[in-house]
Amino acid sequence: MGLFDFLFGNKTKKIDDFKSRGAIILDVRTKGEYQGGAIPDSKNIPLQQLSVRLAEIKKWNKPVITCCASGMRSGSAATILRSNGVEAMNGGGWFNLSQKL
């Protein structure tokens, strides 16, 4: 186990676990950013709309991997989702996450 695994956990293993359980990729960038490039089959709900769309997300009844441009907004989104009873993790930047999927 490396230092980063110790400090931050092994993100690839967690992503694999979430994927094996049918995780939904949730991109929380703006619509314009999302249209400029995104992970195929991901869903786009901008961070600003997340709170009003929680009921919709809960109906998915699946774990959620959040992503954005750099990992900052997706970190906030994952925290909001977890605090509302949704199993969620921050996948970081969408392009880097796409390389791990």
Please, what are the domains in the chain? 11-30+42-47+60-101 (3.40.250.10)
100 backbone dihedrals φ, ψ, rounded to 5°? -95, -10
Which of 13, 11, 22 has the alpha carbon at shortest distance from 90? 11
| Average pLDDT for the chain | 92
What is the reported pTM? 0.90
Give strand ranges (E) for 8-82: 24-27, 43-44, 64-68
Could you report the per-residue pLDDT of 78-92, keeping only the tens digit for each?
A: 999 999 999 999 999
pLDDT, mean of residues 31-40 = 97
Flag whether pLDDT at 5 surpasses 80. Answer: no
pLDDT at 6 over 80: no
pLDDT band at 1 (very low <50, low <70, confident <90, very high): very low
